[in-house]
């Protein structure tokens, strides 16, 4: 097994910033890359705020916050990642964008480094074969919010060397996560089961089975879920979930994965969930108010 010392993360959005944070918090020297200084600053600020909130809640020691930040650096230059042992990609859910990021990275990255993608739905094999090292390529799928969610899906392709899979499983454990192994099938384990469920919640809303808050309360209190499906959609991002569902529909050609019409309209209208301030709920008020007009005539 290879020893991972230096970690790189491509993308400092919702997922990338969380991944960079837990890597740095777990003792790895971590460099996170964004395409612009502005996006980088936003991502690094998110990390700092999460750590600060952790200190306020008594979950993170002040010196741990400082140590984490000292192990973390941000960059807009791919060259800064050249010495990384493992680079985790968390850029937008678009195959071309991901391939482009890997290709720029590989111009300077050392040969033995392992590449991983945090994709939720794209084919790991399709990404791996576009790189110079498909045998050193895996999927490493984290869950939102990354610092709080225990699970990591580790995905090997039929080209992945067993030692590389073992190295990454060990890395996930070092982050304090619980790794599960899965094959390269769109959606892996969790989204294969989760996506039809959350899309069905939108269909139930469209059909008038229940209101936004009643659907959420129903699943929260009736099934013991930590949050209802529409609140979860707002957390993950309605745009992100739409793209995931669309890719899964394309792979399986099964209507369980087909995004419902309301979802597409919400994406087009900028109702992307918490990150845009509104989705199924409006986040301008506290507590957030259900947007019941979404299904009214």
Residue 99, Cβ density class (10 Å: 0-12 exposed, 13-18 middle, ≥19 buried): middle
Say whether 120 is catalytic: yes
- Catalytically annotated residue among 17, 117, 120, 123: 120
Shorter beta-carbon distance to ligand CAA: residue 137 or 142: 142
Angle at 26 between CA 184 and CA 237, to 5 degrees: 50
Say whether 144 is catalytic: no
CA 13 to CA 19: how far, in whole Å? 10
The residues in 96-135 that bind ligand CAA, with binding defined as CB under 6 A, are 120
Q: Are 98 and 119 in contact (CB under 8 A)?
A: yes
- Catalytically annotated residue among 17, 141, 213, 272: 141
Number of residues assigned to the chain? 297
**Close Cβ partners of 243 (under 8 Å, ≥ 6 residues apart):** 93, 94, 121
Q: Which of 1, 53, 209, 268 binds ligand CAA (CB under 6 A)?
A: 53
Any bridge partners for residue 278, and if so which?
273, 282
Q: Does 68 bind ligand CAA (CB under 6 A)?
A: no
**From the CB of 157, what's the least distance to ligand CAA, in Å?**
18
One-character DSSP codes across 15-28: HHHHHHHHHHHTT-
**From the CB of 60, what's the least distance to ligand CAA, in Å?**
5
Q: Does 227 bind ligand CAA (CB under 6 A)?
A: yes
Say whether 141 is catalytic: yes
**Residue closest to ligand CAA, measured at CB:** 54
Q: Does 267 bind ligand CAA (CB under 6 A)?
A: no
CA 227 to CA 260: how far, in whole Å? 21
**From the CB of 144, what's the least distance to ligand CAA, in Å?**
4
Positions in the binding site for ligand CAA (CB under 6 A): 50, 53-54, 57, 59-60, 120, 143-145, 148-149, 191, 226-227, 232, 236
Catalytic site positions: 120, 141, 153, 191
């Amino acid at each position: 097994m290879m020893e991972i010392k230096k970690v790189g993360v491509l993308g400092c959005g919702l997922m990338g910033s969380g991944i960079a944070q837990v890597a740095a918090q777990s003792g790895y020297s971590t460099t996170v890359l964004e395409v612009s200084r502005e996006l980088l600053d936003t991502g690094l600020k998110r990390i700092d705020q999460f750590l600060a909130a952790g200190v306020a809640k008594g979950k993170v020691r002040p010196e741990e916050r400082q140590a984490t930040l000292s192990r973390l650096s941000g960059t807009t230059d791919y060259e800064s990642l050249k010495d990384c042992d493992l680079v985790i990609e968390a850029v937008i859910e678009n195959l071309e964008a991901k391939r482009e990021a890997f290709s720029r990275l590989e111009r300077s990255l050392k040969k033995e480094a392992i590449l991983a993608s945090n994709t939720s739905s794209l084919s790991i094999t399709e990404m791996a074969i576009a790189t110079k090292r498909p045998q050193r390529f895996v999927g490493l799928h984290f869950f939102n919010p990354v610092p709080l969610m225990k699970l990591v899906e580790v995905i090997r392709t039929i080209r992945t060397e067993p030692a590389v899979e073992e190295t990454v499983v060990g890395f996930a454990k070092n982050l304090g996560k619980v790794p599960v192994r899965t094959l390269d099938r769109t959606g892996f384990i969790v989204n294969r089961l989760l996506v039809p469920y959350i899309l069905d919640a939108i269909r139930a809303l469209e059909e008038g089975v229940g209101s936004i808050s009643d659907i959420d309360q129903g699943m929260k209190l009736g099934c013991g879920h930590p949050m209802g499906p529409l609140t979860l959609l707002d957390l993950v991002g309605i745009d992100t979930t739409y793209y995931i569902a669309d890719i899964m529909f394309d792979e399986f050609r099964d209507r369980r994965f087909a995004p419902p019409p309301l979802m597409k309209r919400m994406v087009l209208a900028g109702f992307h969930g918490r990150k845009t301030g509104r989705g199924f709920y409006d986040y301008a008020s506290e507590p957030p108010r259900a947007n019941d007009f979404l299904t009214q005539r």
